[in-house]
A and B are shown apart, each in its own frame.
Chain A
Amino acid sequence: MSAFIDARTVPAGTTIQTDLAIVGGGPAAISLALALAPSALRIVMLESGAFAFDGKTQDLYGGTESGYPYLKLEGSRLRYLGGSTNHWGGWCRPLSEIDFEARDWMPHSGWPFARREIEPYFKRAQSLVEAGPFIYDRGEEWARSLGAPLQLGDGGVYTSWFQFSRTRDSVLPTHFGHRYGEDLKRIPRLTPYVHANVTGLRLAPDAASLDHLDVATLSGKHFTVRPKITVIAAGAMENARLLLASNDVAAQGIGNANDLVGRFFADHAIPRDTATLVVFDGQLAPFYTANAIQKGAILRATFSPTEAYQRARSLPGSLTTVENEIKLDELGQAAVATTANALGVDASNAKAFSMGCGLELAPDPARRLTLGTERDALGMPRLNLHMHVADSNFAHYRETMKELGRQLLAAHIGMVRLNQKTHADWQSVMDWGNHHMGTTRMSADPKKGVVDADGKVHGVGNLYVAGSSVFPTYGASNPTMNLVALTLRLATHLRKVFV
């Protein structure tokens, strides 16, 4: 058992030998440490922050943004134990089969393995994020006593289900640092450090293996960690930053021989008020507009394109939520009355709701993190994010929503208005999920990916990457539960490597 060690108390110049170093203290890092707890490995975990928000530590995340408007780099993540689970919303849903497939209509898409490779880890991941029973495919049955989903009939859109990390006392959803801090202390051979910033990944002279990690504190201490294997799990921005900035042996940065590190940055676009849903009879089950707690699960119904429809129409993933009830303007009232009457349906009790969505962006090498010229308090180059969002992403989503509208009409139960059309329209309602992904993408081919199918950096024998930075295609599901599942798979692999 080891309490957290404040890295500021480590004597300068110390070298710490260990089997495994985990860089970071977010959901991937903590899941990996927990999964390896029963092993005989000596593990060092290096967390930059401590147990609560600290402005000076958070400032290490600062950078610049260019291109399509995006969030401040220091504002879209949190740098202390638990990482970005300290501000997540708890939305959980496993990636779909199609999310893993290489699709000829979506350039750069596809994982080096199918969904079945990660499936065995979903239930354990579900347990770690504390999202209750794993019932994503049985939401309708689970929530039956609360009402029936809209009967959309045949078509490309169906009612899909999110589950939520649970709310406990004052802790809104599972904050990994708060929830698992004591568990980390109880792992016999784990030594977790706080205030420990990894500032360099130092390769051996032949560049084929990692020799050691440079660690620094904001108080000015410097020491070294020399692990047999290192896993960087510092988030999709910091993972790329560490690889790019560690350029003393490999001039382009580690794993960057093919200029891929930092490219393909992704997030889920979550534009608001994307469409209006009208239900002719005014009856909409409560699980569409708010989370429903039912038999130990927290559920929310959303609209998704079916995988068959995505394949047939070359569409990316999306998850559309129903939000608040709204009043229709004169045109809206006329459209509803005229259409319902033409269909022979009574719409005198019709209700209208605003909808929002989580939208998968197509992989795009132009969406890119690079090192800027400014440096942070530890001398690390700050990042620049160049954001690029093609209008085709929104045109594709619009097509999905138009299909939803068609299905509602065909079922004689409602209709849809597509509220955004132009580039300016979409930009005016844009928000982001803070779901950073893709910057150290996974591929079996070193020319197409930074890490291989196990998460090992191509060309470096003992360096791995964990977290959503390795997602080569993103799906529309929120990444936390999926990155935890992927990390549990990595733990299985590492146990074999050490044997």
Chain B
Amino acid sequence: MSPPPKLSRRTLTFGAIAAAGAAAIAGAVYEVPRLFKHRARGEYAELVNRLSDPEQAAVVGRAIHLDAGEESAASDLKKRLSKKTLQELAAEDSLELHRMVEADGWVLPLAVAELCVLAAQAV
């Protein structure tokens, strides 16, 4: 039985660099679109990006009709979010039945519903 062939240090170094490069390219191909995919753009982006997943919110938003319209919702939300976090607003809305909004039957706090509507415009 003959001994295994020896690899030179140079070959090993090139191999390692090539492998790392391939992994970086693969990661970029996968991750970069994901990063852009979840960021909202346009006039409501600043509001909508407070959500962890604007794209999922947009799915919900497309099932909601707000009587007051999007501009009014955005204006109200800006005011409310300047003083409180989304978590605080969602909890606050959940204390009042009239601040519940339906999205194809799903009962949501008003602030969440409004953000979802804006997400549907921004994503």
A419 CA / B108 CA spacing, docked (Å)? 14
Q: Can you list, as one digit per residue, whether each of B60-92 has a CB less than 8 Å from chain A (1) or not (0)?
A: 100100000000000000000000001100110
Interface status of B40 (Cβ within 8 A of chain A): no
Residues of B near A412 (CB, < 8 A) are 91
Tell me whether A339 and B109 are in contact in the complex, defined as CB-CB below 8 angstroms, given that A331-B104, A406-B94, A410-B95 are known contacts.
yes
Residues of A near B63 (CB, < 8 A) are 331
Residue of A nearest to B85 (CB): A344
Residues of A near B60 (CB, < 8 A) are 331, 334-335, 338
Residues of B near A339 (CB, < 8 A) are 90, 106, 108-109, 112
Question: B24 to nearest A CB, angstroms?
Answer: 30
Question: B94 to nearest A CB, angstroms?
Answer: 4
Interface status of A431 (Cβ within 8 A of chain B): no
Residues of A near B103 (CB, < 8 A) are 331, 335
A341 CA / B56 CA spacing, docked (Å)? 11
- Decide: B59 and A334 in contact? CB cutoff 8 A: yes
A418 CA / B105 CA spacing, docked (Å)? 5
A60 CA / B57 CA spacing, docked (Å)? 59
A335 CA / B53 CA spacing, docked (Å)? 11
A305 CA / B55 CA spacing, docked (Å)? 36
Interface status of B45 (Cβ within 8 A of chain A): no
Interface status of B32 (Cβ within 8 A of chain A): no
Interface status of B111 (Cβ within 8 A of chain A): yes
Query: Considering only CB atoms and an 8 Å cut-off, how many residues of chain A contact the other chain?
Result: 28
Tell me whether A417 and B107 are in contact in the complex, defined as CB-CB below 8 angstroms, given that A334-B59, A337-B53 are known contacts.
yes
- Decide: A342 and B115 in contact? CB cutoff 8 A: yes
- Decide: B56 and A334 in contact? CB cutoff 8 A: yes
- Contact partner, A331, options B59, B97, B100, Cβ 8 Å: B59
Residues of A near B106 (CB, < 8 A) are 331-332, 335, 339, 415-417
Which secondary structure dominates where chain A touches chain B? Answer: helix
- Decide: A342 and B97 in contact? CB cutoff 8 A: no
Residues of B near A402 (CB, < 8 A) are 97, 100, 102, 107
Tell me whether A343 and B90 are in contact in the complex, defined as CB-CB below 8 angstroms, given that A406-B97, A409-B107, A418-B102 are known contacts.
yes
Q: Can you list, as one digit per residue, whether each of A251-286 has a CB less than 8 Å from chain B (1) or not (0)?
A: 000000000000000000000000110000000000
- Decide: B56 and A337 in contact? CB cutoff 8 A: yes
Residue of A nearest to B112 (CB): A342
- Decide: A342 and B104 in contact? CB cutoff 8 A: no
Q: Can you list, as one digit per residue, whether each of A414-438 has a CB less than 8 Å from chain B (1) or not (0)?
A: 0111110100000000000000000
Residue of A nearest to B56 (CB): A334
Query: Considering only CB atoms and an 8 Å cut-off, how many residues of chain B contact the other chain?
Result: 29
Q: Can you list, as one digit per residue, whether each of A334-357 has a CB less than 8 Å from chain B (1) or not (0)?
A: 110111011110000000000000
Interface status of A405 (Cβ within 8 A of chain B): yes
- Decide: A334 and B57 in contact? CB cutoff 8 A: yes
Contacting B at CB under 8 A, from A318-333, are 330-333
- Contact partner, B107, options A332, A333, A334, A418, Cβ 8 Å: A418
Residue of B nearest to A333 (CB): B56
- Decide: B107 and A341 in contact? CB cutoff 8 A: no
Question: A298 to nearest B CB, angstroms?
Answer: 32
Residues of B near A6 (CB, < 8 A) are none
- Decide: A338 and B112 in contact? CB cutoff 8 A: yes
- Decide: B100 and A410 in contact? CB cutoff 8 A: no
Question: A267 to nearest B CB, angstroms?
Answer: 26
Residues of B near A332 (CB, < 8 A) are 106
A339 CA / B109 CA spacing, docked (Å)? 8
Residues of B near A341 (CB, < 8 A) are 51-53
Contacting B at CB under 8 A, from A50-90, are none
Interface status of B116 (Cβ within 8 A of chain A): yes
- Decide: A343 and B87 in contact? CB cutoff 8 A: yes
A419 CA / B102 CA spacing, docked (Å)? 11
- Contact partner, B100, options A334, A406, A419, A421, Cβ 8 Å: A406
Q: Can you list, as one digit per residue, whether each of A7-41 has a CB less than 8 Å from chain B (1) or not (0)?
A: 00000000000000000000000000000000000
From A335, A337, A406, A418, name the one whose CB has the most chain B CB atoms within 10 angstroms: A335
From B53, B86, B105, B108, name the one whose CB has the most chain A CB atoms within 10 angstroms: B105
Question: A19 to nearest B CB, angstroms?
Answer: 57
- Contact partner, A338, options B87, B102, B116, Cβ 8 Å: B116
Question: A49 to nearest B CB, angstroms?
Answer: 45
Interface status of A307 (Cβ within 8 A of chain B): no
Question: A409 to nearest B CB, angstroms?
Answer: 4
Tell me whether A409 and B97 are in contact in the complex, defined as CB-CB below 8 angstroms, given that A337-B53, A342-B86 are known contacts.
no
- Decide: A405 and B100 in contact? CB cutoff 8 A: yes
A415 CA / B57 CA spacing, docked (Å)? 16
A85 CA / B103 CA spacing, docked (Å)? 42
30 contacts between A and B (CB under 8 A): A275-B105, A333-B56, A334-B59, A334-B60, A335-B103, A335-B106, A335-B108, A337-B53, A337-B56, A338-B57, A338-B112, A339-B108, A341-B52, A342-B90, A342-B109, A342-B111, A343-B91, A343-B94, A344-B87, A402-B100, A402-B102, A402-B107, A405-B107, A409-B100, A409-B107, A409-B109, A415-B107, A416-B106, A416-B107, A417-B106
Q: 4 more A-B contacts (CB under 8 A) besides A342-B90, A409-B108?
A: A330-B59, A334-B59, A417-B106, A419-B105
Interface residues of A (CB under 8 A from B): 275-276, 330-335, 337-339, 341-344, 402-403, 405-406, 409-410, 412, 415-419, 421
